[in-house]
Amino acid sequence: MTTSKDIIEWTEEQKQEMRDKLLAWYDKEKRLLPWRENKDPYRIWVSEIMLQQTQVVTVIPYFHRFMEWFPTIKDLAEADEDKLLKAWEGLGYYSRVRNMQSAAQTMVEKFDGQMPNNVKDLLSLKGIGPYTAGAIASIAFDLPEPAVDGNVMRVYSRLFCIEDDIADPKSRKIFEQKVRETISHERPGDFNQALMDLGATICTPTSPKIEIDPLRDLYEAHKQNRLEEFPVKKKKVKTVHLYYLGLSIQNKKGEYLLEKRLAEGLLANMWTFPLVEVDKKHYQEMEKEWLGYQEDQKETTLFDFVAEDSGLMKGAFLEALETSQSDVVWLKQPLGDVKHVFSHRKWHILLGNGFLKEETELMLKENQSWVDPKDFPNLAFPKPQQKMISLIEELRNK
DNA sequence: AACACGGGGTG
DNA sequence: CACCCAGTGTT
């Protein structure tokens, strides 16, 4: 293990050479991005939160819409949560936008509705950690603060052969130290953004374009022919598999039964079709029956089919509707399956389609509603639920 | 220190 | 399909 003592030290001349080469490259190649049009701290903040774990091309349309919907910190502080989630729909890590609203409210209460202009106050805000505080401080306020993200760790680990595990939070300080030693005091914001652009486009994780890299002669890892050994990163944890039956249930008006998810945890407060968890064994049995059914494409309804066998899907429908009236739903057909990989788990969903026969005495749960599909665009659905909607629309178009 | 938290890309 | 990309908050 390399410790900070073992890491190569550059002379002042080498540091100056690195700054000059990096900034010259940035002046020529910098990407023209909407949040680079000016130094408005609010726009910088929004872009930096969106860019966490998310690529630039994905962020651009979200950024424009967000600034339209919430033009000021005050607008964000007062926004309706459903609209907030809709603004973030599909971006992932939805706590980011909830934390932003909390921070906006703090700014209205404590900072005169402005972004604070120093690292200490920035760090006191929800959702702003060491990286984002450094990014805002340097880009919006010209402070020579490090903003160490994955790109920066990749570039510096290759420059200095830093062998510390970048997944370990302890390592961040080593990289921050090296950035402090090298950062341009004249143009700290450009310096940090140049590092991130370089990591994103040239000094990439695989197949780095070393021949066109403005820092190509400075990488110690390259001198040692070990460029792609860096950065050092330990293995990620294995994903957990979860199995569900997904339920598309329509009433006579053509509305669908939807549920709002719990206020905490995965995909909090977002909308979903009812999901009933089943164990792997039952899921696989069901999947097998399902495929047999789809191959047949006979007159038989899934209701008949399931009723004769496990009754699992029917039971799930009854559970979702909180009723024991066994003839309340007529299961028309299977819609297909949806698979979705999260960072730490994988969902397997078999989606069934049912029609409600009687609805008068039916009690919905607190978090359930009948929703006209015309209103789907107004609700925030996570990706797996968007995939389910696609299956439903396929069926409607047949 | 370990885990929770989405979604996208490449080969 | 396997594999890569990773900041912040909570416990």
B6 C1' closest Cα residue: A92
Q: Provide the pLDDT for residue A311.
A: 66
A48: annotated active-site residue: yes
Mean pLDDT of A374-378: 95
- Give the residue from A110, A60, A87, A266 showing the smallest Cα distance to A102: A110
Amino acid at the residue A341: V
Residue pair A185/A144 in contact (Cβ under 8 Å)? The answer is: yes
pLDDT of A258-305, one tens digit each? 999 999 999 999 999 999 888 888 888 888 877 666 555 544 444 444
How do strand A240-250 and strand A275-278 relate by DSSP bridges?
antiparallel
pLDDT of A199-241, one tens digit each? 999 999 989 999 999 999 999 999 999 998 899 988 677 788 9
Strand B within 7 A of A377 CB: no
Q: Provide the pLDDT for residue A288.
A: 80
Asked whether residue A307 carries a pLDDT value surpassing 50, the answer given is: no
Only one residue has tokens 């140049």, namely A194
At A182, list the tokens: 């090298």
Q: How far apart are CA A40 and CA A42, in angstroms?
A: 6
Strand B within 7 A of A225 CB: no
pLDDT band at A363 (very low <50, low <70, confident <90, very high): confident
Mean pLDDT of A231-256: 87
Q: Provide the pLDDT for residue A161.
A: 94
At A193, list the tokens: 């953004």
What are the two backbone dihedrals, phi and then psi, of residue A247, each rounded to the nearest 5 degrees? -120, 115
Asked whether residue A1 carries a pLDDT value surpassing 80, the answer given is: no
At A36, list the tokens: 């680079």
Measuring from the CA of residue A123 to each C1', which nucleotide is nearest?
Answer: C8
Q: How far is the CA of A53 from the C1' of C7 (A)?
A: 7
Mean pLDDT of A161-187: 93
pLDDT of A336-359, one tens digit each? 899 999 888 899 999 988 888 766
Positions on chain C within 7 A of a protein C-beta:
1, 3-9
Three-class secondary structure of residue A266 per DSSP:
coil
Measuring from the CA of residue A381 to each C1', which nucleotide is nearest?
Answer: B6
Strand B within 7 A of A140 CB: no
Asked whether residue A310 carries a pLDDT value surpassing 50, the answer given is: no
C7 C1' closest Cα residue: A52
At A87, list the tokens: 């603004």
pLDDT of A64-110, one tens digit each? 999 999 999 999 999 999 999 999 999 999 999 999 999 999 999 99
pLDDT-wise least confident of A244-248, A320-324, A367-371: A320-324
> Do the domains A12-229 and A240-396 sit in the same CATH topology, yes or no?
no
Q: Provide the pLDDT for residue A292.
A: 66
- Give the residue from A8, A19, A3 showing the smallest Cα distance to A174: A3
| Domain residue spans of chain A | 12-229, 240-396
Protein-strand C interface by C-beta, 7 A? A 52-53, 93, 95, 99, 125-133, 148-151, 153-154, 166, 169, 199, 205-206, 231, 233, 235-236, 339, 341, 343
Name the superfamily (CATH) of residues A12-229.
Hypothetical protein; domain 2 (1.10.340.30)
Q: Provide the pLDDT for residue A322.
A: 80
Q: How far is the CA of A341 from the C1' of C4 (A)?
A: 14
Cα–Cα distance list, A259 to A234, A376, A389, A391 (Å): 38, 12, 14, 18
Catalytic hit among A9, A29, A37, A48: A48
User: Class for domain A240-396, per CATH?
Assistant: alpha beta
Strand B within 7 A of A8 CB: no
